A and B are shown apart, each in its own frame.
Chain A
Amino acid sequence: MSSEQQMKNYLDALRLHLSHMNLNEREEILKEISAHIRDDAEMGTTMGTILERLGPPQELAAQYRDDLLISTASRSVSPLRLMRAALRLATRGVFGIFVFFVGVIGYAMGGGFVLSGMIKPIFPAHTGVWIQDGHLVASGTQFPGVIDPRAHEVLGMWYIPLLLTAGSLTLLLTTFLIRAALRTSQKWQMRLQQKGVANPGRQIESLIPRS
């Protein structure tokens, strides 16, 4: 295999393992690593040695992944990104598991509210909030015949803006909660690392690449 081909294979593998990152970050990393390889090769190091010293592409990618996942997600609003970071956090402890569940419940509730508000115009007679003798008997979209004919629907078309608003607020709140939690966890980790200088055991723990 020519050294040019070896380098291409390495970078391709690295790109593949970094595929979860956004395009800019990924291309920046690849550009930097390929500059490293070219510079080192110009100094006369053989391609095999250069790539061996860099370490396997999947390990290099894993070291980037954990650090960036949480820090970029804490500035993101994408539920996918946030939940992925929350899942990563969940593997690290009870706080993370709690954050993950708050995320699951929050997004499910918010999404459900918004969806229900959008279904109302499609099934206007079967979607709403029903009250009978002062008690709530049903809400949401119900199958025909499920609801006692004596119960009456109280919201009418107000159901739509109400549910859309409640849903959006729940989604927004969930997003902010997860972001705040991710940022808090970063602060903890940073503090751990600062303390880690006086207590290397702790620092080492937080720096071991988790693959």
Chain B
Amino acid sequence: MSQAGMTAGGHAGLMERPMFSVPAKKMAMWLFIIADTMTFAACLVAYGFIRNANPNWPRPFHSITNLALMTFILLTSSLTMLMGVRAAKAGDKSGALRWTLATAALGIMFALLHLREWMTLIHEGMRLFKNPWGTGQFGAAFYSITGLHLTHVTGGVIALVAVGLRYKAGRYNADDLEILGLYWHFVDLVWMFVVPLVYLLNLAH
């Protein structure tokens, strides 16, 4: 066997197979997603306990229009993210950047609608520990959970723009965009639980 062949064979023997045939970067994102699931689960269950322990829990939401629009925008952003990853896998750099920036734009729209909703609630007198409708803990619970989600959306938007531009410049590849896509779908997935627990159960009938 030649020296080159022996070296290649030796290295192949030393190489570890990736866990579940998933590249290390993608596995790291999955581990982050699992850890973040615990954070949101803890927040939502704690919210459930506080809500259950307070019979005077406020129901301040009169309209679902803003919430429905926010949900529609976030779900649509997951679809545009998928389109971006598909374009990247097909080697269409311009298309991938276009869809990724479209996803970021939808994320910004979601964040602006969220902030508008917060401003309305603040204007109505809802603060962290007091509000005009019922138990004061509602404000802290609501702003904590929705704020944590909004932070994830904001971070995601920044990452989408950064990774999209670097992918176009050739510094990142399609796999990097796919890994970011996992994060973005996770943010969407969390919203599916925030909507019923924090909003829909607190509609003013």
Is B a genuine binding partner of A? no
B contact residues vs A (CB 8 Å cutoff): none
